Amino acid sequence: MADVARAPSLGGVFQFRFGAGHGTVYPIVCGFKTDEDALVLHGSNGEMLDISQLAARDQDGLRPRLEQIFPDMPSQTRHDLDPLVLGNVDRIAEVRKMERTLDVEHRERMICVGRGFDFLHMPNLALIIGPYSPDLAEPIHQAAGIIDANIRAGRIPDDGFLLQASVPYAEVGLDRARAELKSRFLSKFAADVTRAQRPKLAPKMQVRTAVLDWRSRTLETIAAE
């Protein structure tokens, strides 16, 4: 649930840090269409490239299009971007061949806040909110609204839903303590927003807090305080 309006300003941060000449880093604002796993590239000139609209393996047509929407991108960077885009074209073709009945309508019954949810590969199982927006309340409110609508429509059972926060850490000690502190904050914040915005939904909420060991990819649940 990305905030597209704020994404360009994040790209500006990278440009300020690494330079406008893009000799080291070239920031790209990129969206993601979950129905087909398609990337949407937002060009530096305001144009967009929806990868789902590209013909399969159209490498000859791809490069001029990338040059058009990223006129200031170094040629080597464009060359490195080709395999990613062409790989996404192949992925879209695979998705279109698959029977994904769950994509017809929302069936999510989990709200996940933070990072470390790469294991949730099933479509329409969870609404994942990254910790990057300065205003997390709005996407949490939207996610709670989707869960509420799913219950009302009978798309998921009305026996409850899971709200889980997770923050990764690389080393035990201070880094893990930092992750635990942040995860506790995220779970409490998300729960408070849900209770305030969706009071009738709140009793069905099961809150879990966790940290993720980056090295072993182990999700460690934190006991409630």
Which pLDDT score, from 0 to 100, does residue 158 have?
87
Q: Does residue 122 register a pLDDT over 80?
A: no
* Stretch 75-97: mean pLDDT: 85
Spatial separation of the C-alpha atoms in residues 188 and 183, rounded to whole Å: 9
Residue 167 in tokens: 């923050």
Res. 147: pLDDT tops 70: yes
Model confidence pLDDT, tens digit, residues 10-24: 555 555 555 555 556
Report pLDDT for 17.
Answer: 54
| CA pair distance 179, 174, nearest whole angstrom | 9
The structure's pTM equals 0.55
Residue 2 binned pLDDT confidence (cut-offs 50, 70, 90) = very low
Q: Are 165 and 209 in contact (CB under 8 A)?
A: yes
Which of helix, strand or coil describes residue 169?
Answer: strand
57 pLDDT above the threshold of 70: no
Domains and CATH numbers, the chain: 7-97 (no CATH), 103-222 (3.30.1330.140)
**Contact in structure between 22 and 70 (CB atoms under 8 Å):** no
H or E element in which residue 143 lies: helix 137-152
| Cα gap 82→121, rounded to integer Å | 25
